[in-house]
Structures are given as structure tokens and as C-alpha cells.
Amino acid sequence: MKIRTLVIAMALMTLLPNVARADEGMWLLSLIGKNYADMQKAGFKLSPEDIYSINQSCLKDAIVGLGNASTPFWHFCTGEIISKEGLVSTNHHCGYGKLQEHSTVEHDYLRDGFWAYSKDQELPNPGLTASILVRMEDVTAKVKESLSDDMSEGDRETAIKKVCAEIEKEAVEGTQYAAKVKPMFNGNQFFLFVHIIYKDVRLVGAPPSSMGKFGGDTDNWSWPRHTCDFSMFRIYTAPDGSPAEYSADNVPLTPKHHLPVNAGEINDGDFAMVMGFPGTTDHFLTSYGLEETMNIANKLVYEIRTVKINILREEMAADQATRIKYASKYASCSNYWKYSNEQNKALKNLNTMGVKKEVEREYMDWARRQPAPKYSRALDLVREGYAARAKSEEAILYVREGLLTGPEAPLFAAGLCRAFMRQLEQDKNADLTGYTKRINSFFKDYDERVDRRLSAALFEHVFTNMDPESCPQFLKDANKKYKGDWTKYVDDLYSKSIFANEESLGKFMLKPNKKQLEKDALAAAGQEALDAYFSLDSAVPQETSDNLQRGIRDFTDGILQINEGRKLMSPDANSTIRLTYGNVMSYDPKDGVSYHYYTTMKGVIEKEDPSSSEFAVPERLKKLYAEKNFGPYANKKGEMPTCFITNNDITGGNSGSPVINGKGELIGLAFDGNSEAMSGDIDFEENLQRCICLDSRYMLWVIDIYAGAKNLIEEMDIVR
């Protein structure tokens, strides 16, 4: 959002009347009736009850949050049910990890794609969950009955946990559901979400990575795009329809609702609605928080991950087995690596810092007139809190990114060493084979030589750039002993460790020895890095952290009060289901440049570069394109559409979300945002913000014409 006059048009705190924008906001489904008039103006043809209802089937029943069994209420991606047999579509990059897990050198599903031409060919994925909202409820009043302004933050948190646990227990008693109370508006409101969580989710299909990741890092966060970013899963249940772990006796889910798939025209200005589980946004971030985000978090993540990215690129390009092992890890690392850099560029270009400071000036004009002094104090508490933790936040990022999540062996060694020690302290002849599954899982996607390279490069980077006062002692000792030869240090570290490879670890487990564990330097290095992380995390006095949290909450409360009755406001994303609406829309990113609202397969052919793995084009696709074999999926001009853009407000977690037209039909899958407005998670830019979407026609074409998976086409309701 940009400064247009002395008063910012959308500065949250101005006393001028505000009008809610249809293209901004991640709205709670149960409150969508407040937006209904705006949605109708934008082209919505259904009713609020068609979106959210607890008495009839509705769109919410077709929206799936993809998660893990250990954290089922944190959704890494979104999917949508598109058949009466529980078929789910989502993004290719959402299914990428599962494709990688199932891939081998002999069956390289990352390279070749995967298709189940019958249900018995679908692949199980232990630990993957699919969550569907049953109902939601505003429980703010119930929670706040236990709270008061004079509580300490610790007492407040304890009281919230207690009452939320009671609400959650009562909500699901006697049912097969799961419940979670989530805070909204930085702890000023609370909502209960009741879900049904399915535990048998099987891989059904995905195009090859050359299509599903077409454009790679180069095209990531940019438009125009031609990425065929989709994969398909199926939800299975016990024969009685209840959630169940994988079993051969399970049957496909019969959903309450599934989305028809529209294969018709998409025009500039058409209504577009995205429903999904966005991860996190920070629209109430202050200028002080923004300074930390830009100058510490984004800056260091980009710099440190660049070291890791460059090594992985070299190693993956040189060997197929290494590429398969590290494909998912690389994708996870590179996505936020580019995001952090592009977000900083957008924040600077759009003068977001200036916007935040103007917002705070307007806020203080309001706060000084309030009888409660907490509003006037809020920004002082925020400023002092961020200043007090700046040094430790920087050190934490170096340790986390460079030592704990950079190389893998040190942290793995530390964790397993602790577990072994506990066993051997109880019984020197303890049987350690119970850890075999954990060990096999780690080494399946691990290469010692690659990890040595990562350790040497990242240890050197951290030691060279980190504040010496916070640097872990083992790095200081290594630099002194090895005179800056980090490769030699790491070679010694790994060659003498029982944890560096599967063979040495296997020998140790046959004849475990406590003294050998005690002198393992690799495990010790990992443990010291972990200890440093927790020590740095607790370095800021608790009172300062509490005051920061209180200041943010009071500041947000002030924003809500000022806008009450004049401007609809949506809470920040927190992995709960949301709806955002707007329109298909082209845009002008800079002077002299205009972007059309859709792309076609012609662009795939134009971008082909045989020398680059990012822009490789499968021979079959080129052949079908040359023949103009687009089946019934071409547009009226005879083009094969690939992607389109809307002005919907999305973020991470929305990946795979359905893009739905005014009639409730699937027209595409959201998969990315545009770099020009990468500031959107902090400050929505209404002129530039775009959601990049896979056209449903391209998905259908790949399933039908490219892959020949007629079985999947036949079970969908396709609207032409």
C-alpha cells in the first residue's frame, strides 16, 4: 500500500471513513455475510450459506487442509475435493515430498511423473492428514471471562490454555472430531475450530517435475508463469466412513460436497474466490517489527541459505540419486530463500516503512485521547522489546540456519546420542534396535559427502559473520586448531564419528559403548549448537518479552476499536480456513510494462532451454503442442491456457487452494504470488498484488490428453 497524500488512503488509524476492499482480507467463513454485498458486486452468484453452513452441505465441506499427524492443525498446503470418491487436487509442490519419498533411481516419479490408472495403484502416505472444517464458533467471551488487564502475561497464558482446553474437550466429547481454539487479532479474539481429520491419504497422480516445477527458482514468485503446478491425492476412510489409519480394507471418502471443475472461458474481470488454510501474515506489524524482519530475518535467511543452495545445486545436477535424495529438501530451502530477498525488495520499493510510521502517528493521535493509559504505552513497549532482542535474534538465525538446519548430521547425531545415552545409563547392554526406523528414515535421504560440504561451508560462514560473543565455542576452537581450514576440520569430525554414516552407526549398535558416545565430537558439536540456540532464545528477560507481547496486543486492540463500524477487518492468517475474494485481473507492474491476465502453452515452448533443468520441456508435450492436440480444453482462440492471475489475498498455506468462480465451480489452483507485491503478508498492495493460479483446463489436459488417465476424468463433474 503506497502513500498517495499526506493521509494514507488505507492507513488503518485515520479518522476518515473507510471502505472495505473486496480484494483484501482473509475472511473467517462464519462471518462472511458481512462481506456479502461486496461479493455480489464482484460477481458472486451464491449465498453465504452456500459457503458456510452447519445444517447443509456447502463449499467448506470440499476444502481440505493438508497436514501431518504430529501437527494436524497446522496445514502446510490446501487441497479441494473434486469428485464424489474423495479425489483431491492440490499443488505439485505440495505433493513433492511424497513424490520424492516414493521415488527411486529405477522409479523416478520426480522426473517421470506418477499416475494411478486404478485405485489399487494409489500409494499410501503414512503421517499425511486431510482436515475438513465441521464448524467454527466465536468463543471470545468465554475465554475473556478468565482474563483481566492486571494479569501477568504468564498468568494470562496459563488461564487461556486452561479455558481453551475445556472448550475443546466439550466441543468434541462423544464425537470423532478434533478441536482447537485459535487466537485472532494478536490475542484480542478467540475462535473454536472443529475438524474431522482423515489419516489415510494416498497419492493418485502428478506430472513430471519438468512440468510441475517448470521455471524453477528463476520463475518462482513472478509472472508470467507456465507452471503445471498440481498433484492429486485421494482420501480413504474406514468402511463406515470414519477416519482411520491406512488399511487395505479402507474405502474412498464419500464427501458432503465436491467442486465441479469448470473447463469454460475465463475472462479478465471474472469473479474469483480462494478458500484455503493460509499460514501466517503480519498485517498489524509495527515499524519496529518491520525493521527486524527486513534487516535481520530476511537478510540473514537469504545470505545463509545462498551458501546451502549453491552447494545443493551443484551436487544435485551431478548425480540422479543425489537429486532424488535432496529434491524435497532443496525445494523447501529455496522457496523461502527467494521469498525473503524478494520481500525485502518489495518492502523498500513500496515504502512500507513509511506507511507503518504514518499508521503509528495516526494511532498515537487516537491513543492520547483514550482514558486507558495502556494504549499510549503500547508502542513504547513494542519499540523497547524489539530493541532488547535484536542481538539475540540475529545470533539465533545464524545458529538455526547455519548450524541446525544447514547440514543434517550434527543435529541428528546430538539427538540420537542423547537417546542412546539414556538407554545405556539404565542398562549398559541395552538393545538399541528400537531406533532402527528413525535411523533408516534419516539415511534414506542423506549423503555424507554432501553433508560434509555443507558443514564446512556453513560453519565457516557462521564463524566469519556471527557476533563473536554469541558464536558457539566449538567453532572458535575449530578455527584456532585448524587455522581456518574448515574442510579439514569437518573431515576429521565426520571420519571419527559413529553418526556420520549408516555403516559406522550399525557397527556401534552391535556393540554399544557409553564412553564412545561421550567423546563423539560430531554429536557434541550438534549439542552445543542446540544449547546455544535455546540459550539465545531465553537471553531476553522474560519481562521484556512479556511487555512486547502486551504492547502488540494493545496496539492491535486500538486498531480494532478505531475501525469498528467503519471498516471490516480480517484477522491475520494462522492456518485456519479463510476465504478471500476478488477478480481475475491483469496489471501494470512498472512504467511501460503491462501483463496480460493469462498465459498459454505457447509460452512453455518459447521458454524451453535444453541447457537448463528449470526450462526442460517433455518430448510428449512438444509433440502434442505441435499437433495442436488440446482436446476439449482449448479456449475460444484455439490456445491451450496454462495459468491466470487474480487480485486475491493469499500467502503460504494457500498453495493448492481452489480458485472458485461465482457459481462455486473450480477454475484453477492458487500456487504463487508476484514479486512486485511480496510485501503483501505485511501490507497488502491493492494495485500490484496478484495471486498466480494454474488454469483448471491445463490440469484437465494433462490428466486426460498427456497422461491418458481417463479414470480420473470420468469421476469428475466437468462443466464446459
Q: Which residues are catalytic?
A: 93, 229, 655
Whether the bond into 224 is cis, omega within 30 of 0: yes
Helices 448-465 and 473-482, axial angle in degrees (round to 10): 100
Report which of 587, 568, 595, 569 is spatially closest to residue 687, judged by C-alpha positions.
587
Residues 312 and 458 sit within 8 Å (Cβ to Cβ): no
H or E, element range at 600: strand 598-600
Residues 242 and 249 sit within 8 Å (Cβ to Cβ): no
Amino acid, single-letter form, for residue 635: N
Question: From the CA atom positions of the chain, what is the Rg in Å?
Answer: 26
Residues 579 and 30 sit within 8 Å (Cβ to Cβ): no
3-state secondary structure of 717: coil
- Residue 349 neighbours by CB under 8 Å, 6+ apart: 676
Report which of 359, 406, 462, 440 is spatially closest to residue 683, judged by C-alpha positions.
359
**DSSP type of residue 401:** I
Residue 269: how many other CB atoms lie within 10 Å = 12
**DSSP type of residue 429:** T
- The residues with which 287 forms a beta bridge, in sequence order, are none
Alpha helix positions (H), 368-408: 374-397
Report which of 409, 211, 450 is spatially closest to residue 309, judged by C-alpha positions.
450
Please state, in angstroms and as integers, the Cα–Cα distance from residue 591 to each residue in 251, 581, 702, following that order. 56, 27, 36
Residues 419 and 435 sit within 8 Å (Cβ to Cβ): yes
Alpha helix positions (H), 56-131: 92-102, 109-112
Q: d(Cα 387, Cα 651) in Å, to the nearest integer?
A: 28
Q: Detail the DSSP E strand segments found in 54-207.
A: 63-68, 77-81, 87-90, 114-115, 128-138, 178-184, 189-198, 200-206
Residues 375 and 554 sit within 8 Å (Cβ to Cβ): yes
Q: d(Cα 61, Cα 77) in Å, to the nearest integer?
A: 16
Helices 542-563 and 153-172, axial angle in degrees (round to 10): 60
Report which of 701, 702, 597 is spatially closest to residue 659, judged by C-alpha positions.
597
3-state secondary structure of 405: coil
- Cα 168 off chain centre by: 25
